[in-house]
Amino acid sequence: MYAIVFADRNGHELLPLTSRVPIPMLPVLGKPLIVHTLEDLADANVRSVLLVLTADDRQTENALGNGTAWGLRLTCTSSRAGDTPGDVARRFAADLPDKLLALRGDVLRGRLTRTFLNAAANVLATQVIATTGGRSVGLCLCRQRDLQLDTLAWPMPVREPKDSGWRSIELGRAGYSALDSATAFYLAHLDGIERRFGDLAVHPAAVSQHRHLASGIALIGDHCKIAPDATLHGPLAIGDNVTIGKGVFMHSCVVMPGTHIPDGLSIRNAIVNSDMAMGMDGKEIFRSPDRQARRRKAEQITNVRTRPQKAEAG
């Protein structure tokens, strides 16, 4: 099976998280977002992938190489200003097989592709799309050269295309997030570590017990340094190479890789990186203090919860 993967959205809706990292390389649940898609494709026996990136995204291309790490033959190309997914596919039509998979690779899905392809094999239509709750999850099986891929445009349309050649397959309550806002990014992490994404491959595995974890579950990356007196309450998603200082209290947070959290901070319901913390609505609620400010009493950082949480220990 051959796949064309669109990962060329600009990521403005996730600023400042994407100010230094293109959206395909944005760390999500312990690995770059695009890697979740590549792993899903490899699991579904897809072997050749044409990956469509923005014109200035060399970071993703360099990181992925030729795809052999996932058992894929990967080729990267760039979309042009004003291109739709159909425009890109038609530009490469001579090199594409009659039957191929087309999908967005800059959204988060569980392992859906194998299930979708098995179901689509019994559907007689020129193009078949996967939906959950009646909305496209950015996954389409194409059986013709003249590709009409409006359903994969960004932002993704709410309604299915009205075309006699299209059919849809409802996947039920499948794990899916468009990652189209800070809130969606935050909740996708919580859903991932609490296993609401079905068989989404998460590395390292979420753990229920950790010497620093007072309650709940957490996803803790590699090479993290956590002060012995730090108090952590899950759900938490902590990236690689994170340092958490003395006396820090954290509850229901997403911490980006490489973040240093100064001593004494209390942080709830926030996305945290080395520069700032922001609430689930995307608004800045804290900016990393300079050296002089760090000598002052630590700030208390709180944000309104949007979902029920487990009771704190003690």
- Phi and psi at 94, nearest 5°, equal -65, -25
Share of the chain above pLDDT 70, in %: 85
> Measured between alpha carbons, how far is 248 from 266 in angstroms, rounded to an integer?
6
Kindly tell me the burial class for residue 244, based on how many C-beta atoms sit within 10 Å of its own C-beta (0-12, 13-18, 19 or more).
Answer: buried
CB contact at 8 A, 286 and 294 = no
**Does the structure show a pLDDT above 60 at 229?**
yes
Q: What is the mean pLDDT of residues 71-90?
A: 91
> Measured between alpha carbons, how far is 126 from 142 in angstroms, rounded to an integer?
6
Q: What are the tokens at 193? A: 């570590």
**Does the structure show a pLDDT above 60 at 122?**
yes
- Give Dmax over CA atoms of the chain in angstroms: 68
> Measured between alpha carbons, how far is 144 from 134 in angstroms, rounded to an integer?
24
Q: What is the mean pLDDT of residues 289-306?
A: 43
Residue 311: CB atoms within 10 A of its CB come to: 9
Which has more confidence, 250 or 308? 250
Closest CA to 51 of 5, 108, 100, 119: 5
Return the half-sphere exposure (C-beta side, CA atoms, 13 A cut-off) of residue 310: 16
* pLDDT interval class at 143 (50, 70, 90): confident
Return the axis-axis angle of helices 33-43 and 113-120, rounded to nearest 10°. Answer: 40
251: Cβ contacts below 8 Å, ≥ 6 apart: 232, 233, 236, 267, 268, 269, 309, 312
Write out the DSSP string of 22-51.
-GGGSEETTEEHHHHHHHHHHHTT--EEEE
Q: What is the pLDDT of residues 20-53, one digit of tens each?
A: 899 999 999 989 999 999 999 999 999 999 999 9
Residue 195: CB atoms within 10 A of its CB come to: 14
Q: In what order do the strands lie in the sheet with 276-279?
A: 218-220, 236-238, 254-255, 270-272, 276-279, 284-287
Considering the entire predicted model, what is its pTM?
A: 0.86
- Helices assigned H by DSSP within 56-122: 58-64, 85-91, 113-120
Q: What is the pLDDT of residues 248-263, one digit of tens each?
A: 999 999 999 999 998 9
- Residue 244 pLDDT: 94
Strand 276-279 to 270-272 pairing: antiparallel
Q: What are the tokens at 263? A: 């001593």
**Does the structure show a pLDDT above 50 at 129?**
yes
Which has more confidence, 281 or 251? 251
